């Protein structure tokens, strides 16, 4: 858990500075607003929880901090067996992974997170899964994280790779 916290902290603080380049003088950043819909690169699959569903979260002020307010649909998934599709973001070295992030978006920079907490799920596998840049489908016990110190909103434990 400490490893995930440190990795997320590093990404949040240091990597956006390294990956960002200066904006051209005539380029104006987009206006602030809700995050873009997650998962444009992944098709909807029957029996797989949609990233559109997982993005049904509102950020609200809770006890002098900003935290997630989950939709009833998301809360209904808590502690249930689910299937998710996404791209592996390894948290450790090696070809086989048992602990990684599953992302709705294709990783485009090896040092940058490809989205916000609504588009990532922490995965703990029963057996190692070979890392691949192609999307995978996993099955496991889903948890909604209401106050996780790492800043993540979702976790799947006892995960297994679903063979196509």
Residue 50 in this model has a pLDDT that exceeds 70: yes
Query: What CA–CA distance (Å, rounded) separates 23 from 59?
Result: 28
- The mean of the pLDDT values for the chain is 80
Residue 151 in this model has a pLDDT that exceeds 80: yes
pLDDT in tens, 74-116: 999 999 999 999 999 999 999 999 999 999 988 777 667 677 8
For residue 102, what pLDDT is reported?
A: 95
Query: What CA–CA distance (Å, rounded) separates 16 from 54?
Result: 24
For residue 9, what pLDDT is reported?
A: 43
For residue 1, what pLDDT is reported?
A: 55
Instruction: Tell me how far apart the terminal alpha carbons of the chain are, to the nearest angstrom.
Output: 31
Residue 135 in this model has a pLDDT that exceeds 70: yes
Residue 11 in this model has a pLDDT that exceeds 80: no
* 60 neighbors 117 (Cβ within 8 angstroms): no
Domains of the chain: 45-161 (2.40.50.870)
Q: Which two tokens stand for residue 157?
A: 């434990």
The pTM for the full model equals 0.72
* 125 neighbors 99 (Cβ within 8 angstroms): yes
Q: Which residues contact 28 (CB under 8 A, 6 or more apart)?
A: none
The secondary element (H helix, E strand) that includes residue 9 is: helix 2-13
Q: Higher confidence at residue 19 or residue 48?
A: 48
Query: What CA–CA distance (Å, rounded) separates 127 from 96?
Result: 9
Taken in order 49, 56, 122, 132, is the CA torsion positive or negative?
positive
Interval 46-50 mean pLDDT: 95
* Burial (0-12, 13-18, 19+ Cβ within 10 Å), 65: exposed
Q: Among residues of the chain, what percentage have pLDDT more than 70?
A: 72
Residue 44 in this model has a pLDDT that exceeds 60: yes
């Amino acid at each position: 858990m400490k490893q995930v916290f440190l990795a997320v902290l590093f990404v949040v603080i240091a990597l956006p500075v390294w990956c960002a380049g200066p904006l051209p003088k005539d380029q104006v950043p987009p206006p602030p607003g809700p995050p873009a819909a997650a998962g444009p690169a992944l098709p909807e699959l029957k029996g797989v929880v949609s990233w559109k569903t997982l993005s049904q979260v509102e950020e609200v002020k809770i006890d002098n901090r900003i935290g997630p307010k989950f939709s009833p649909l998301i809360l209904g998934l808590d502690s249930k067996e689910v299937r998710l599709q996404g791209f592996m973001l390894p948290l450790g070295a090696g070809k086989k992974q048992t602990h990684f992030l599953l992302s709705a978006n294709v990783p485009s920079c090896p040092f940058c997170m490809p989205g916000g907490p609504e588009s990532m799920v922490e995965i703990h596998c029963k057996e190692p899964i070979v890392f691949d840049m192609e999307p995978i489908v996993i099955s496991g016990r889903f948890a909604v994280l209401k106050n996780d110190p790492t800043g993540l909103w979702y976790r799947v434990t006892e995960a297994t790779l679903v063979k196509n």
